[in-house]
Amino acid sequence: MPIKVAIIEDDDWIRENLAAQIKRTPGFTCAGSYRTGEEAIEQVPKAVPDVILMDINLPKMNGIECVRQLKTFVPSAQILMLTVYEDSDRIFNSLLAGASGYLLKRTPQAEILEAIAEVHRGNSPMTGHIARKVVQYFNQRGHSNTEIEKLSKREREVLEGLAQGIPYKEIADVLSLSIDTVRIHIKGIYSKLHVHSRGEAVAKYLRK
């Protein structure tokens, strides 16, 4: 089945070009494109996309608030934030709201499509710069969250890999596990943290 992608972007040129690229690329289909967060909140739950591309700087309702609401209505959707530059605070807040990763708007369209496929597979597109900031952030916060304390040592190791944006296969290699075992640990993490996506799990890890 093709990956269903919704686009929420107020720049008409960017939105229309992304939609056209997705429509003409095998393995992808455009589930809808929207100019505002308000329009997306009304329409996206009906389309039930697999992946959502979200402008972080939408007018009125901003992208971060839109993520928070859409994760309530469509919890299975993976959300990638689109941003002009690496604004660490907004990217962190997007992760806390439930986003799974982010892309710079200047990213070539072929790489955007690759990132959509990655996040659909469970990976989390994130540059090394932001990944390092994420690691520094949760290292400074400690491990006081009660839900996090319920995780086994191995589950915490897997979750740390997720927070760094490492693909499942690399996590498996680093921990000397099979990728199926990593997936089992991830299901355990989701269950114990009461979340439905990688982004939400990482957000809880960052909040502790």
Examine the pLDDT at 159 and tell me if it is beyond 70: yes
Examine the pLDDT at 57 and tell me if it is beyond 70: yes
Q: Is the pTM of this model over 0.85?
A: no
- HSE at residue 103, side-chain half, CA atoms within 13 A, is 23
Give the domain CATH number at 167. Answer: 1.10.10.10
Is 107 in the same domain as 177? no
Is 28 in the same domain as 117? yes
Give the domain CATH number at 79. Answer: 3.40.50.2300
- Expressed as residue numbers, the domain containing 91 is 3-125
pLDDT the model gives residue 130: 64
Is 14 in the same domain as 116? yes
**Who has greater pLDDT, 43 or 164?**
43
pLDDT grade for 51, boundaries at 50, 70 and 90: very high
Examine the pLDDT at 164 and tell me if it is beyond 50: yes
- Alpha helix (H) residue ranges in the chain: 12-24, 37-47, 63-73, 88-97, 109-121, 128-141, 146-149, 153-163, 168-174, 179-193, 198-207
- Average pLDDT, integer, range 57-65: 89
- Average pLDDT, integer, range 119-132: 70
CB of 7 within 8 A of CB of 82?
no
pLDDT the model gives residue 143: 46
Is 118 in the same domain as 100? yes
Is 166 in the same domain as 81? no
